[in-house]
Amino acid sequence: MMKRRDFVLNSLKGVMAVSVGGLLPACEFSNKNTDSFKIDKIELFRYDSNIPRYFSWGTWYNRQQVFLKLTSGNHVGWSETNGSTNNPDLDLNIWAQFLRPLLGINVYDAYKKIKENQVESSNFSVPQLEFIEMNLLDLIGRIENKPAVELLGLKGTAAVPGLFCILNNDLREVEQNIYKAIDQKLDTHVKFKMYGKKEFDLQIAEMARKLLGEKAFILSDVNKGYKDWSQVEQLAEILIDLNKAGLNACEDPAKLTNEQWIQLQNEVGDLDLIPDYVLRPAWEGIGRIEAGMGRYFNMHPDTMGSFHHLPAMSEKIKSFDAGIMIGDASLVGPACSAWQQVAIGVGASWVEAIEKQEDSEAYLNCVITKPTFRNNEGRFAMKKVPGFGVELDEDKLKSFCAQSVSII
């Protein structure tokens, strides 16, 4: 019978991620005796949200976030991913089977093999890889008593503005959410989903600028929703009009080639373009992005698939004289703090992955401590702690979750 370790090594085999332009460092782990650090326990928690989120391509009426806790001796790691959407019957006993091979193996071996799978022909999906790596960075950071961002070689310490995201296609609800942003003092950077319908999108931009004032940075995400164009000049005219209406920046306005991105940015004047999809996953995006495609680039959670590629990607973006955006995947829990720490570490211009007042309410009631917080200026700052540093009251968490399971 195949031993668990042999099964794991066979099931996780792949090609080791290679560096791009010499920029990709190995994570800075210590030379401790690592043989004693095994993954002893795998626990999962299903945290549901029934707040609809509207996109140009469809609607999430509900979503099932999954929190992961890995235990090695006295150390734990936490992570989060979007387990599914519009699937209230999600069963973690079935969903979580991809994690079973991790049980009982060395923590450092697990991290190495996840890195080896960050390739096109992986045994895991992109979100699964990111989900596991986030947790292992948290766990190893606690084992080594080092912050996860330090393990990644990230040096930034300056607090970062949070971005309030509005995903509504009803103008009355858009207006109500703008007032929520103002009430929560998250009105310096506000993002709106737009829908590829120029007249409706113009109404959103005009309302946003009127209510948020001249100092706010207002951006939109169209999720490649503008399709009624054949020449880049036609798309540029739409975006110029949105800029005149009050929009500062636009993320993924349409499906574009690199050449079209560059041409479009040259033609839309003061409007900042923000490529997103082209960066996914990180090990491919790092070789795909080019200078001139936009003035910011979105390193989007749940789609990067890798944390250890992010330092090199961020340096490449900075070499373009462009800014970095840390996006969101409608995260609600421990991944928010992890991505806020990454945002600070890479020197991002803003971070969208923040705890949401309604979605995250139950989760925040379970938090014992977390290293990220809003400072006196309303920006997201962090204390240096081992790993990503979130500590949760598990009894409370289980009481709020739709399902909790252990893999044994």
Residue 10 in any domain: the answer is no
- Cα(330)–Cα(9) distance, rounded to whole angstroms? 33
Residue 84 in any domain: the answer is yes
Q: How many domains does the chain have?
A: 2
Task: Give percent of the chain with pLDDT exceeding 70.
Answer: 92
CB neighbour list of residue 283: distance below 8 Å, 6 or more residues apart: 17, 118, 119, 305, 306, 309
Give the range among 21-25, 95-99, 106-110, 299-303 with minimum mean pLDDT.
21-25
Residue 18 in any domain: the answer is no
Residue 58 in any domain: the answer is yes
Tell me: do 227 and 252 sit in the same domain: yes
3-state SS string for the chain: CCCHHHHHHHHCCCCCCCCCCCCCCCCCCCCCCCCCCECCEEEEEEEEECCCEEECCEEECCEEEEEEEEEECCEEEEEEEEEEECCCCCCHHHHHHHHHHHCCCEHHHHHHHHHHCCCCCCCCCHHHHHHHHHHHHHHHHHHHCCEHHHHCCCCCCCCECECEEECCCCHHHHHHHHHHHHHCCCCCEEEEECCCCHHHHHHHHHHHHHHHCCCCEEEEECCCCCCCCCCHHHHHHHHHHHHHHCCCEEECCCCCCHHHHHHHHHHCCCCEEECCHHHCCHHHHHHHCCCCCCCEEEECCCCCCCCCCHHHHHHHHHHCCCEEEECCCCCCCHHHHHHHHHHHHHCCCEECCCCCCCCCHHHHHHEEECCEEECCCCCEEECCCCECCCEECHHHHHHHCCEEEEEC
Question: Quick one: pLDDT at residue 312?
Answer: 98
Question: Quick one: pLDDT at residue 46?
Answer: 98
Tell me: do 137 and 157 sit in the same domain: no
| pLDDT mean over 124-130 | 98
Least Cα distance to 339 among 362, 367, 372, 314 occurs for 372
Tell me: do 74 and 202 sit in the same domain: no
The partner residues of 75 in beta bridges, in order of sequence, read 72
Check whether 166 has a pLDDT greater than 80.
yes
Tell me: do 140 and 43 sit in the same domain: yes
Check whether 7 has a pLDDT greater than 70.
no
Tell me: do 157 and 119 sit in the same domain: no
The partner residues of 106 in beta bridges, in order of sequence, read 38
Which band of pLDDT confidence, cut at 50, 70 and 90, is reported for residue 34? low
Residue 245 in any domain: the answer is yes
Which band of pLDDT confidence, cut at 50, 70 and 90, is reported for residue 29? confident
Least Cα distance to 191 among 381, 354, 372 occurs for 354
Question: Quick one: pLDDT at residue 57?
Answer: 87
Which band of pLDDT confidence, cut at 50, 70 and 90, is reported for residue 32? low
Tell me: do 333 and 226 sit in the same domain: yes
Tell me: do 311 and 354 sit in the same domain: yes
For residue 299, what is the domain's CATH number?
3.20.20.120
Tell me: do 53 and 171 sit in the same domain: no
- Cα(149)–Cα(156) distance, rounded to whole angstroms? 9
Which residue has tokens 């991790």?
Answer: 102
- Cα(400)–Cα(319) distance, rounded to whole angstroms? 45
- Structural domain for 228, as ranges: 152-392
Question: Quick one: pLDDT at residue 22?
Answer: 36
Residue 3 in any domain: the answer is no
Over residues 395-405, the pLDDT tens digits come to 999 999 999 99
More confident position, 313 or 19: 313
Over residues 316-372, the pLDDT tens digits come to 999 999 999 999 999 999 999 999 999 999 999 999 999 999 999 999 999 999 999
| pLDDT mean over 218-242 | 97
The partner residues of 391 in beta bridges, in order of sequence, read 369
For residue 77, what is the domain's CATH number?
3.30.390.10
Check whether 215 has a pLDDT greater than 60.
yes
Tell me: do 232 and 186 sit in the same domain: yes
Tell me: do 246 and 387 sit in the same domain: yes
Question: Quick one: pLDDT at residue 23?
Answer: 41
Question: Quick one: pLDDT at residue 11?
Answer: 42
Check whether 27 has a pLDDT greater than 90.
no
Tell me: do 133 and 196 sit in the same domain: no
| pLDDT mean over 87-102 | 97
Tell how far CA 104 is from the center of its chain. 28
Tell me: do 229 and 174 sit in the same domain: yes
Question: Quick one: pLDDT at residue 335?
Answer: 98
- State pTM to two decimals: 0.93
Check whether 26 has a pLDDT greater than 90.
no
Residue 259 in any domain: the answer is yes
Residue 26 in any domain: the answer is no
